[in-house]
Structure 1
Amino acid sequence: MEIDLTAEPHPVITARSTVRDALTARSVPDPIREDTVLVTCELVANAALHAGGPGMLQLTVLADGALRIAVSDASTEPPRRRQASLGRPGGHGLQVVHLLSRDWGTMAVPGGKTVWAEIPGDAPQAPGGPPKEVEGG
């Protein structure tokens, strides 16, 4: 599945409903669906808040049943995990991505970057590893 969020006035809402509907239609179990929706929302929100807005959102089923979420944006700056504080907003998004994903990272693409995360499908939930910068295009 691929959707262009560039012109969406509310990209997080659009991404959430589109991904949830697509996974529900494919009978993806609730815990996997909800983890995927949450990670998608965090990646899209980060692109909206820190990278000038999201571009393309891609959701792919990998050979092992995992779900790969990829969100592009026009910034070349990689995402950075901030120290979250209970007393102030922000800083939790990439921590959520890190905890719910088996792996996540960034990939340089023409005109910006793509931030991706993989949610285990049939495999047991595993904590995410450190973010990886991947060269490529």
Structure 2
Amino acid sequence: MTLDEQTSDQVLAEAHLAGVDRAFLGVVDRWLEEPLRGCTRGAVREASFVLAELLSNAFRHARPPFAVRVALPQLGGALRLEVHDGMASSTTGWPLGSGLRVVRALCPDWGIEHEPDGKAVWAELPILVSPADV
């Protein structure tokens, strides 16, 4: 699903990055604080790790533009963390490094969606408490 498509997910935060932005990567945890206000500290910490890992992999293996999106699926009980990039290449044969192993352990549902101008790598992190403003 592209960023512009209508979705039943409630978008909590979104950022568009023209290129590799190591400064943004370094403040992902602070960027998530406001949209995830009301979630447990553990959930915010895990969401920060997952999003930083997905974004770091995009910076390393894909090309701009990049977009980051945090949403609450309609059914609730999870956060959907997405990183979109401008590289539509095949994702088969990706090495599964230690960071993606942790993402898989934290997020039972994750995957890749091909888009007209690239792809989105997403993961759904289970949460017990939804953000306060939802």
Report if TM-score (shorter chain) is over 0.5: yes
3-state DSSP class of the match of 1:75?
coil
Q: For residue 114 of structure 2, what is the amino acid of its counterpart? A: A
Pairing partner for 1:99 from 98, 101, 105: 105
Q: What's the % identity of the aligned pairs?
A: 31
Pairing partner for 2:76 from 57, 64, 67: 64
Deviation at 1:109, TM superposition (A): 0.6
- Residue 37 (str. 1) matches residue 48 (str. 2): yes
Deviation at 1:31, TM superposition (A): 1.4
Q: 1:80 to 1:66 in 2, by over 3 A?
A: farther
CA deviation string 1:38-81 (max 9, x = no partner): 00000000000011246111100122231000100112232755
Q: 1:66 to 1:7 in 2, by over 3 A?
A: same
Paired residue total = 114
Pairs within 5 Å for 1:45-56: 45-53=56-64, 55-56=66-67
CA distance in 2, matches of 1:35, 1:65: 14
Q: For residue 113 of structure 1, what is the amino acid of its counterpart? A: K
8 A Cα contact 2:29 2:44, kept in partner: no
Which of structure 1's runs of 4+ aligned residues deviate more than 4 A?
none
Pairs within 5 Å for 1:56-135: 56-62=67-73, 63-76=75-88, 77-78=90-91, 80-82=93-95, 91-122=97-128
CA distance in 2, matches of 1:29, 1:18: 16
Q: 1:5 to 1:47 in 2, by over 3 A?
A: same
3-state DSSP class of the match of 1:52?
coil
Deviation at 1:14, TM superposition (A): 4.1
Deviation at 1:32, TM superposition (A): 1.1
CA distance in 1, matches of 2:92, 2:54: 10
Gap regions ≥5 residues in structure 2: 1-12, 130-134
Q: For residue 40 of structure 1, what is the amino acid of its counterpart? A: L
Q: For residue 105 of structure 1, what is the amino acid of its counterpart? A: G
